[in-house]
Amino acid sequence: MRRLMLLGPPGAGKGTQAAYLAERYGVRHISTGDILREAKAAGTPLGLLAKGYMDRGELVPDEVVIGLVKERLAQPDIRERGFLLDGFPRTVAQAEALDRLLEELGMPLEAVLNLRVDPELLARRLTLRRSCPACGAVYHLENRPPKVEGVCDICGGALVQRPDDAEETVRNRLAVYSRQTEPLIAYYTGRGLLVEIDGEQPIEAVRQAIVEVLEPAGR
Ligand code: AP5
Ligand code: MG
Ligand code: ZN
């Protein structure tokens, strides 16, 4: 039962790789961004609170996000299937809270996969990304175009551009990342959990690099 985390800046490919890894290892994909976007679309109090922060590319307050993850990790399927965190934690306070939660659950992290990508490339990935709000599939106009323009290959839903993928907001998200999230690289290096993955390779090569780390030959 795997207990994994994908770390990396906006656009690094966390969601893209998470979809594959969740299938390969049967783990539960926990994306705080997806949870918050669903709440936003449903117009719940959580969604209304999160909207302003998300649309500006700022982080939603720690206590709100920590509460969400705490609730999700406590569900029984996590113990059976394990987890893959994507987009959480994003601050040192969140990482410390996660350590406590996982200790209480007796489910320590196994590895933190840090997807490294140059900021110039990130901006390009984000502004050309298209997503399917219905099933969560992620496309890219150049790197991973859908078979039919504007239509999801998987569910036939209409593809949209995330509001926070507008150029101005992308710049802010990248700045927020360097300020608040990048320190987690040192945090997890210090705990002996960090594994560097070259996220600039094509999608399949990144996938292969991760699998090689998680399934070392001869193990
Ligand atoms: P969140 O949804 O987590 O967004 P993010 O971290 O900014 O990351 P993205 O989802 O944009 O990128 P990704 O790494 O998943 O890349 P993807 O695979 O899509 O968070 C959104 C907002 O929610 C935050 O700004 C904040 O407001 C709030 N929030 C969420 N979690 C929070 C938390 N813990 N605390 C506080 N607030 C929180 O790929 C990107 C594009 O590149 C796609 O088009 C894809 O097709 C393409 N691509 C992927 N891999 C490759 C590759 N190897 N080569 C070429 N193209 C590729
Ligand atoms: Mg994502
Ligand atoms: Zn879809």
Q: Which among 6, 17, 36 is the best mutation to test ligand 1's pocket, defined by most ligand atoms within 8 Å of the CB? A: 36
Give residue 217's pLDDT: 78
CA distance 194 to 78: 22
Give residue 151's pLDDT: 97
Which domains, and CATH codes, for the chain? 2-117+181-214 (3.40.50.300), 119-165 (no CATH)
Query: Which region holds residue 24: left if phi is over 0, alpha if psi is between -120 and 50, else beta?
Result: alpha
Which tens digits make up the pLDDT trace of 92-136? 999 999 999 999 999 999 999 999 999 989 999 999 999 998 888
Res. 45: pLDDT tops 60: yes
Closest ligand, as measured to the CA of 132 = 3
Radius of gyration of the chain (CA): 17
Phi, psi of 200 (to 5 degrees): -85, -10
Query: Could you give the 3-state DSSP secondary structure of residue 194?
Result: strand
- DSSP 8-state code for residue 163: G
Neighbour tally for 197: CB within 10 Å: 24
- pTM listed for this prediction: 0.95
Contact 86, 31 (CB under 8 A): yes
Distance 138 CA to ligand 2 centre (A): 8
Residue with tokens 């890894």: 21
Res. 216: pLDDT tops 90: no
